[in-house]
């Protein structure tokens, strides 16, 4: 079939909207009509050329929601008409990672996924002249239709709105999951969140659910303050307003250091500040942000010797087929909020504007509806 997609032809250039070829689902695969997709900072990271796994031409997008149109041979858990959220972290329920409750990092298709290929080593997308187009994070939701492995699709209830629950495909689950699954924040904790964007706001929402007493938000962009307060931030710090050492300032503000800190910026200097602002003896710092190729983190080992813990999280530690339908229920039951964070709704032709809004710091989440 043919479908319409935003194709990233090369790094650093706007995507081009075009018709592409899409082959049908092979064994174990599913054809999806994407109804809506969020634009995450990681899409921008890869489009910019900073991603060591970036490979072009590609169809980006990994925060979608849609409907099953057709299933390939051997698919048993899905049928046409089912509503699904694509998972860039699949859940095969068979590999040693899936069988270990300590991780969500299913590895069953990770190596082909990282090369922009389907599990059989080929692509389903191609240009009209036959040139293959690579998949992205196993999802490619910036296309109106996509093909994905069955194990990378979470089946969700049919009454949930696509233009909101697409955000559960990355940002919502990553932020809330970092608090609940990765840090396992206790009631009464003092916490600091660096970066008040689409991920950081969901960390804040998760911290409020977990019963944190203090939620300090740090962001260079003061325009993010109001929304962060709405979601539960108790104190705002703009690094540009801090005279002197940022770590000392945060340690004082949190009464000796934070129980938990979270980086949602992707900046390695911020990651160091986050680690060092964690409380001596027990503070934990969780890295969520994705740093550019070649970037490295550093701190004095003494920071760890004296009891601080450095951790990381991908997709909020969520096992997607199991956890994502529950998060959709939380949204539908009013336990979590999504709508205020979706600040812009665009059509596919306007998708590059979504990236401009992100660069300008004007959006939290821009969502493309098909
Ligand atoms: P975003 O652009 O919406 O938000 C980033 C925020 O960080 C912005 O508000 C920006 O002003 C702020 N910021 C940037 N540099 C800063 C600095 N030096 N100090 C303080 N604030 C700073 O991006 P997002 O969609 O929220 O994504 C945030 C990060 O999380 C990105 O690196 C993204 O790639 C990553 N991410 C990781 C996962 C994961 O599974 N680990 C999932 C999704 C996104
Ligand atoms: N390809 C990059 C790393 C990108 C990355 O860290 N991706 C996160 C999800 S970000 C979603 O917005 C992730 O899930 N990582 C785990 C994995 O297996 O990819 C690089 O540096 O090579
Ligand atoms: Zn993302």
pLDDT by residue (tens digit) across 163-210?
999 999 999 999 999 999 999 999 999 999 999 999 999 999 999 999
Tell me what pLDDT residue 203 has. 98
- Evaluate whether 293 touches 72 at the Cβ level (below 8 Å): no
Low-confidence ranges of the chain (pLDDT < 70): none
pLDDT of residue 340: 98
- Nearest residue (CA) to ligand 2, atom 15: 314
pLDDT of residue 347: 98
* 175-313 to CATH, choices 3.40.50.720, 3.30.450.20, 3.40.120.10, 3.40.470.10: 3.40.50.720
Enumerate the β-bridge partners of residue 312.
287
Which residue, judged by its Cα, is nearest atom 4 of ligand 2? Answer: 290
Distance of CA 312 to the CA centre of its chain: 13
In the prediction, which pLDDT does 268 show? Answer: 98
- Pocket test of ligand 2: the residue of 41, 52, 88 to mutate, having most ligand atoms within 8 Å of its CB, is 88
CATH 3.90.180.10 boundaries in the chain: 2-169+338-369
Q: Does ligand 1 come within 6 angstroms of the Cβ of 197?
A: yes
- Per-residue confidence (pLDDT) for residue 224, from 0 to 100: 97
Whether the CB of 274 sits within 6 Å of ligand 1? no
ipTM of model? 0.99
**Structure confidence at residue 6 (pLDDT):** 98
Q: What is the per-residue pLDDT for 245?
A: 97
Return the CATH number of the domain spanning residue range 2-169+338-369.
3.90.180.10
Distance 106 CA to ligand 3 centre (A): 17
What distance in Å separates the CA atoms of residue 227 and residue 170, rounded to the nearest whole number? 19
pLDDT value of residue 364: 97
Catalytic residue set: 40-42, 62-63, 92, 95, 98, 106, 110, 170, 365
Report the separation in Å between the CA atom of 201 and the middle of ligand 1, taken as the mean of its atom positions: 10
Domain(s) labelled CATH 3.40.50.720 in the chain stretch across 175-313
Instruction: Report the pLDDT value the prediction gives residue 125, as an integer from 0 to 100.
Output: 98
Predicted local distance difference test score (pLDDT) of residue 220: 98
Which residues does 232 contact at the CB level (< 8 Å), separation at least 6?
A: 204, 205, 207, 208, 212, 215
pLDDT at 242: 98
């Amino acid at each position: 079939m043919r479908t319409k997609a935003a194709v990233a032809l090369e790094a650093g250039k706007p995507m081009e909207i075009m018709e592409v070829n899409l082959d049908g689902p092979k064994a174990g695969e599913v054809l999806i009509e994407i109804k809506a997709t969020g634009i995450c900072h990681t899409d921008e990271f890869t489009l910019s050329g900073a991603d060591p796994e970036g490979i072009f031409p590609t169809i980006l997008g990994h925060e979608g929601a849609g409907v099953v149109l057709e299933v390939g041979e051997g698919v048993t858990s899905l049928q046409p008409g089912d509503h699904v959220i694509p998972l860039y972290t699949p859940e095969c329920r068979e590999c040693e990672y899936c069988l270990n409750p300590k991780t969500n990092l299913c590895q069953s298709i990770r190596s082909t996924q990282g090369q922009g290929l389907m599990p059989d080593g080929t692509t389903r997308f191609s240009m009209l002249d036959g040139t293959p187009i690579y998949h992205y994070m196993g999802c490619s939701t910036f296309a109106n239709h996509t093909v994905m492995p069955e194990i990378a699709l979470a089946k969700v209830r049919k009454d949930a709105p696509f233009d909101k629950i697409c955000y559960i495909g990355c940002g919502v689950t990553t932020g809330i999951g970092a608090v609940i699954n990765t840090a396992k924040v206790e009631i009464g904790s003092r916490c600091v969140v660096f970066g008040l964007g689409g991920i950081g706001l969901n960390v804040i929402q998760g911290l409020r659910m977990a019963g944190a007493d203090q939620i300090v938000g740090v962001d260079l962009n003061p325009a993010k303050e109001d929304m962060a307060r709405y979601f539960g931030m108790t104190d705002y710090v703009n690094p540009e307003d801090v005279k002197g050492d940022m770590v000392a300032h945060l340690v004082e503000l949190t009464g000796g250091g934070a129980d938990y800190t979270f980086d949602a910026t992707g900046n390695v200097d911020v990651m160091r500040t986050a680690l060092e602002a964690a409380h001596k003896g027990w503070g934990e710092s969780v890295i969520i942000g994705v740093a550019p190729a070649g970037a490295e983190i550093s701190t004095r080992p003494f920071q760890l010797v004296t009891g601080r813990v450095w951790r990381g999280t991908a997709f909020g530690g969520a096992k997607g087929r199991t956890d994502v339908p529950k998060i959709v229920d939380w949204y539908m039951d009013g336990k979590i909020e999504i709508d205020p964070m979706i600040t812009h709704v665009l059509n596919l032709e306007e998708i590059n504007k979504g990236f401009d809004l992100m660069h300008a710091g004007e959006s939290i989440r821009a969502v493309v509806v098909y």
